[in-house]
Amino acid sequence: MGVYGLLTFCAVYALTVASPGPGVAAVIARGLAHGMKGTPAFIAGFLAGDLVWFGIAATGLAALAKTAATLFVAIKWIGVLYLLYLAYKLWTAPAERVEVKSDGREHGWRAFMASFMLTLGNPKAILFFLALLPTVIDMTTLNFVSIVEISVAMCIVQPAVLIVYSLLAAKARELFTTPRSVRRLNRASGVAMAGAAALVATR
């Protein structure tokens, strides 16, 4: 595809990723609670989910995706339940600790799977790749090279946008040092995480 078409896609995709929604809320909440720990895996899950939706749209499998609606609804609710679990842990976290006690696995594959399932069940992601994407790109002219180009662009744009949210949240987290402020931070993060779950559940 041409440079203009690729840049147009990048611009629209960046705005879509940056717009308020469950993903952004979850990234901010996690950044406030854990800082940058586990952020790469968490963002990688969002990227993997977006690549799945792009692959479905690019290969003409939208009809198949609709027939598998039950599966995506199940994935959506698994993601909702996990976000609520994280919200509960944040709300009940001890005030003397800045981050939630963890065995370390939540910052690896668990973080990845949480954001991956959230993306697969996120109406915004579904809408963009199955409905809005064809209005930005002529899907009938896509070939292997174009698909690779767009995939690489996504691998650059999406992490770049979400890392900004994570860095800002992690920086804000450093301002909370007293037990009282830590308790408020944990509970605010828990509310934000629960809000992300509510956004997914009600759409």
- With respect to residue 28, please indicate whether it lies within any of the assigned structural domains: no
Structural domain boundaries enclosing 108:
3-13+38-201
CA distance 164 to 195: 20
Q: Containing H/E element for 84?
A: helix 69-91
Quick one: which of 4, 14, 3 has its CA closest to 156?
Answer: 14
pLDDT score, position 21: 72
- With respect to residue 20, please indicate whether it lies within any of the assigned structural domains: no
- With respect to residue 170, please indicate whether it lies within any of the assigned structural domains: yes
Joined together, the tokens standing for residue 138 give: 């002529």
Joined together, the tokens standing for residue 34 give: 């854990």
Percent of the chain with pLDDT over 70: 67
- Chain centroid offset of residue 192 CA: 14
Average of per-residue pLDDT across 11-18: 84
CA distances from 166 to 7, 38, 60, 61, 151 (A): 25, 11, 34, 33, 22
Q: What is the pTM of this model?
A: 0.67
User: For residues 34 and 99, is the Cβ–Cβ distance under 8 A?
Assistant: yes
- With respect to residue 32, please indicate whether it lies within any of the assigned structural domains: no
Average of per-residue pLDDT across 15-40: 80
- With respect to residue 31, please indicate whether it lies within any of the assigned structural domains: no
- With respect to residue 19, please indicate whether it lies within any of the assigned structural domains: no
- With respect to residue 55, please indicate whether it lies within any of the assigned structural domains: yes
Per DSSP, 104 falls in state: S
Residues with Cβ < 8 Å from 46, sequence gap 6 or more? 23, 27, 115, 116, 118, 119, 158, 162
- With respect to residue 33, please indicate whether it lies within any of the assigned structural domains: no
pLDDT score, position 94: 66
Average of per-residue pLDDT across 162-174: 84
pLDDT score, position 193: 67
How many domains does the chain divide into? 1
pLDDT score, position 105: 44
User: Looking at per-residue confidence, does 103 or 77 come out higher?
Assistant: 77
Lowest average pLDDT, out of 56-65, 82-91, 119-128, 143-152, goes to 56-65
For every residue of the chain, which 3-state class applies, written as one string? Answer: CCHHHHHHHHHHHHHHHHCCCHHHHHHHHHHHHHCCCCHHHHHHHHHHHHHHHHHHHHCCCHHHHHHCHHHHHHHHHHHHHHHHHHHHHHHCCCCCCCCCCCCCHHHCHHHHHHHHHHHHCCHHHHHHHHHHHHHHCCHHHCCHHHHHHHHHHHHHHHHHHHHHHHHHHHHHHCCCCCHHHHHHHHHHHHHHHHHHHHHHHCC
